[in-house]
Amino acid sequence: MKIFKNILYFGMVLIFGCNKNISNTKPNVLFVLVDDLGWADLGYTGSTFYETPNIDKLAANGAVFTNAYAACPVCSPSRAAIMTGKTPAKLNLTDYLPGNKSFGPHKDQKLTSHAFPPYLDLKEYTIAECFNNAGYKTMIAGKWHLAEDEKYYPQFQGFDINKGGNKTGHPAAGYFSPYKNPELIDGYEGEYLTDRLTDEVIQFIEQNKNQPFFTYLSFYTVHLPMQGKPDKVKKYQEKLKTITTADDGFVKNGKTWTKQQQNMPHYAAMVESMDENIGRVLETLKKLQLDDKTIVVFTSDNGGMATSNRTDNIPTSNLPLKAGKGYLYEGGIRVPLVIKYGQKFKGQVCDTPVSGIDYYPTLLDLANIEFPQNNEVEGLSLKPLLNNNEFEERPIFWHYPHYSGGLGGRPSGAVRMGAYKLIEFYEDMHCELYNINDDPKEQEDLASKNPDKVKELKTLLYEWRQNVDAHMPFSNPYFTN
């Protein structure tokens, strides 16, 4: 059984620990994480308004995962999961930092959540630390958002070089220099942040072309504020004139609006700049004859921001998926994922559900780096899937005991097992059940029709929450009807 084989593998490497002796024949790693990029925001996933030729080409030359999930519907927990291979519940880091709760009592919220440390604990052995201790030169360029205190910044979590990673979840002064980022020297006036971070990565790759490197290109884009380059914004303003729409493009549910169309020129311009810069990095790898020696991972930290209590700042639509960032519906957690390693996986399409906790073991496996000792990683290596081998079905879990502020999401947990996904809403503990294979839009709640499946998945979810000591929300003493 594949699960047994994985357990046996990890047991063996726990005994032997991390291998610090490494040759320059080891593959490089370029991990590209885009902030708030929606599953439907790319050409290869169906967007007709945004233009992403470089990412589409990457997808054509790599393995595309159609059921890839972020570990959380918001950024900090999802990023912590990528760094550690553990679920946010196990890490006790389940909301973005500093968190919705930090802004004081919320009288309109029935529940409140337990406090959690405002950082990724230094005791966690990050993927960067493992690559670094295996002889790799390591770098982050861009967003960190895993610490409120600089003592927990990337340079203390395994990264030799930190260009721009600090406590903020978005560019404090916007996307044009001066950035006012203490971890990134300002560029020339008007320099674009997405370009600058790419410049830093290209320089790093050129300087380390003769040794293995692990590069984490963690774009701040396409997170708010919506600020595209003027020439690209104008391009999409003109393009928008050629598109006819039947309505105003929003649906309202309570106080929350959900965007139904991709039609924001600034956001489209940001997507194009991101795509353009990914093309620049990939071209650099090709020019240096490193493209066949480099594992490239491209993904997002959560679903696209498609909802808000105001209509003027919703960047994108995730249709046909439901809702967006801050929700455990598909629009909030399903993300694009491409893994490329030379020509090894070219043209592959994988429908098996996978999670952000899987990158850690996958990359170590592909790089033939032994697993760190005493590390209770929850993810599984995707190498069997990439090699078209058997991969036994397993549940994927989420725990988000928070409100997502103006986005409208409610405290909830979820599990996907095979075709089915169960979402439990903590305010009243009611459940919704969907067959994702047949109904990816999550239009038909099957909970009343299939109580046996609800019971089965609830049991899985409850047992997992107990095993990882997930902190449940509790009654809010300030709540008023």
Domains of the chain: 2-394 (3.40.720.10)
Question: Binning pLDDT at 50, 70 and 90, where does residue 7 land?
Answer: very low
In eight-state DSSP terms, residue 35 is T
Kindly report, residue by residue over 400-440, the tens digit of the pLDDT: 999 999 999 999 999 999 999 999 999 999 999 999 999 99
Residues in the chain: 481
Residue 191 has pLDDT above 70, yes or no: yes
Question: Binning pLDDT at 50, 70 and 90, where does residue 261 land?
Answer: very high
Question: What percent of the chain is predicted at pLDDT more than 90?
Answer: 88
Higher pLDDT, 107 or 167: 167
* Over residues 285-299, mean pLDDT: 98
Q: What is the pLDDT of residue 1?
A: 34
Choice among 35-44, 100-109, 159-168, 286-295 with the minimum mean pLDDT: 100-109
* Over residues 353-366, mean pLDDT: 98
CA atoms within 13 A on the CB side of 26: 26
Kindly report, residue by residue over 233-245, the tens digit of the pLDDT: 999 999 999 987 6
Handedness of CA 425, 302, 146, 354 (dihedral sign): positive
Q: What is the pLDDT of residue 24?
A: 57
Q: Which residues pair with 354 in a beta bridge?
A: 68
Residue 21 has pLDDT above 60, yes or no: no
Tell me the Cα Rg of the chain. 21
* Over residues 100-127, mean pLDDT: 87
Distance CA 403, CA 112 (A): 9
Kindly report, residue by residue over 294-344, the tens digit of the pLDDT: 999 999 999 999 999 999 999 999 999 999 999 999 999 999 999 999 999
Question: Binning pLDDT at 50, 70 and 90, where does residue 246 land?
Answer: low
Residue 91 has pLDDT above 90, yes or no: yes
* Over residues 382-398, mean pLDDT: 95
Q: What is the pLDDT of residue 248?
A: 66
- b/e map of 13-38 (b: 16 or more CB within 10 Å)? beeeebeeebeeebbbbbbbbbbbbb
Residue 362 has pLDDT above 70, yes or no: yes
Q: What is the pLDDT of residue 101?
A: 61
Question: Binning pLDDT at 50, 70 and 90, where does residue 278 land?
Answer: very high
The structure tokens listed for 199 are 């410049």
CA atoms within 13 A on the CB side of 305: 25
